[in-house]
Structure 1
Amino acid sequence: MSTTHAPAHPAPLAQHAPAHDADGTTRRRVLELVATEGPVTAGELAAELGLTSAAVRRHLALLEDDGKVTVHDAGPASGQARRGRPARRYVVSAGGQSELAGGYSELAAQTLRYLRDAVGPEAVAAFAAQRYAAVVRRYSPELTATDPQERAAQLAELLSDDGYAASVRPVVGPLVPTVQLCQGHCPVQHVAQEFTELCEAEARAFSELLGTHVQRLATIAGGAHACVTNVPLTQTTTQTQYPSPAGRTRGTQEGSR
């Protein structure tokens, strides 16, 4: 009588697959957190994720090998000299931004190129203005805080919900109390590299939503690891002048009325 033996290999393979999927999910979460919190250390990520520093460093090493994160060199933190080797702080690279953005950037860029070539650059500026006017209409009812810092935090939360990995960080030392609105991810980064009208329209939208002037310090499209916007915490009587979609300047001179 013959005896039938079950294959030895299928069960172990089935057991390994979920672990592989979990690794991919964790690595994606690490990438998203680097976008939100960066520059950030492995230890800080580990505390946020509830993992060991060694596990996080393994994910970071793989992401670095894939060109999705890179080490940020900003010198000693807070002006304090430290003995020994400083902790490596990570930010998302251009490759990581591409992964977070998905595969539609080139299609969007082609569409705007066609619009520019067929109608003119003013059509691109008008499109950007219309896009962010819609953002203002959508966000405005959700910004209920009257305190400037709380209002900026509400805006950051709305931006994060839309995939911008935004946060508000206090600025130490300026004469005027200030916070920085940081966006660790830009879904339109590769399009904005060619069409800066998108960044300009976004800054105008932030100014309108926050009820004060803002100053854009850096953009991902310009090569920085995050979009950084300075937001003063005092009410001003003069809005910053921005180029309008038609190339003219506009601003609110409330103090002169």
Structure 2
Amino acid sequence: MPLTTRLRILDYLRRHHTATAGDLARFLAMTGANVRYHLAMLEDNQLVEVVGRRHDGNGRPSQVYGLSRHVLGDGLDDLAIAIFEEWLQRLKATEQDAALARLAGRLAGSHPALEQVQKPLPRRLAEAIARLNELHYQARWEAAAAGPKVILGHCPYAAIVSRVPELCRMDVFLLESLLQIPMRQIAHIEPENGEWQCVFQAE
């Protein structure tokens, strides 16, 4: 039974990319404690790893699991860093923001600016969150007195962002492309400082 359960967990993560213990417990019809036991065994064998945190309600954030880099094993991180460094080095400082904005526009998909700005802001936010989650950001938004906040529970570029910090700037442009309002980043994912999410505030 444990072997079958762990294979099912690995297959679920292969198909869905990430999951919390709660997600897996519902899928497997098991208790959270049993799922966490199997996840611990898989983690000990370097088959899964914690890839982020998810805030569900007011309780403690849930750990989000994914297949380990040991399992996925590729050289894409080094390649991506090399491509970004080469690309950015060819640009003048004054050209970098425009280039990052174009890149963000590609990630945003086909959302004509005029068409977007004519939509009510709550609809734009809902569509932006849907697109961000397609891109694996684990995004949500919250109303705030100063304007809506967009909260990203996972950084898809966590493995390389320390070497390519311009990706954070690209995320700002991505949100601005989706929402058609100015945005600024007010918090970064910094696990060593207990910060598990990126937060962006409408200006």
TM range (shorter): 0.5 to 0.7
What do the CA deviations read for 1:158-213 (whole angstroms, capped 9, x no partner)? 122233333x2435xx43463x4233333323332222222113213312421323
Instruction: Give the conservation status (yes or no) of the 8 Å contact 2:88–2:96.
Output: yes
> Could you tell me which amino acid in structure 2 is paired with residue 190 of structure 1?
A
Alpha-carbon offset, residue 127 of structure 1: 3.9
Letter in 2 for 1:229: F
Q: Can you give the 5+ residue segments of structure 1 that lack an aligned partner in the other structure?
A: 1-14, 35-41, 79-86, 232-239, 241-257
Query: Amino acid of the residue matched to residue 156 of structure 1?
Result: I
In structure 1, distance between residues paired with 2:170 and 2:51: 29
* Aligned counterpart, 1:24: 10
Deviation at 1:131, TM superposition (A): 0.8
Aligned CA distance change for structure 1 residues 137 and 71 (closer, same or farther; 3 Å)? closer
Query: What is the CA-CA distance between 1:148 and the residue it aligns to?
Result: 1.9
2:104 to 116, 119, 132: 132
Q: Which residue of 2 aligns with 1:189?
A: 158
CA contact (8 A) 1:46 1:53 kept: yes
> What are the equivalent positions in structure 2 for 1:209-228 lying under 5 Å apart?
209-220=178-189, 222-223=190-191, 224-228=195-199
Q: Secondary structure at the match of 1:192?
A: coil
How many positions carry a matched residue from both structures?
194
Which of the residues 121, 131, 145 maps onto 1:175? 145
Q: What does 1:1-257 align with in structure 2 at a 5 Å threshold?
A: 21-26=7-12, 32-34=18-20, 42-43=21-22, 46-47=25-26, 50-62=29-41, 65=44, 66=46, 68-69=49-50, 89-92=61-64, 103-117=75-89, 119=90, 122=93, 125-136=97-108, 138-140=110-112, 146-166=119-139, 168-171=140-143, 174-176=144-146, 178=148, 180-220=149-189, 222-223=190-191, 224-231=195-202, 240=203
Partner of 1:194, secondary structure, is coil
Contact 1:182 1:228 in 2 (8 A): yes
8 Å contact 2:51–2:66 — kept in the other structure?
no
Question: 1-side partners of 2:66 and 2:18: how far apart?
Answer: 13
Instruction: Specify whether residues 116 and 135 from structure 1 end up closer, same or farther in structure 2 by C-alpha distance, changes over 3 A only.
Output: closer
Distance 1:225 1:48, change over 3 A: farther
CA contact (8 A) 1:105 1:190 kept: yes
Partner of 1:155, secondary structure, is helix
Which protein is bigger by CA-based radius of gyration? 1
TM-score of the aligned structures, taking structure 1 as reference length: 0.55
Find the residue that maps to 1:58 and give its secondary structure. helix
Segments of 5+ residues of structure 2 without an aligned counterpart are none
What percent identity do the matched residue pairs reach? 23
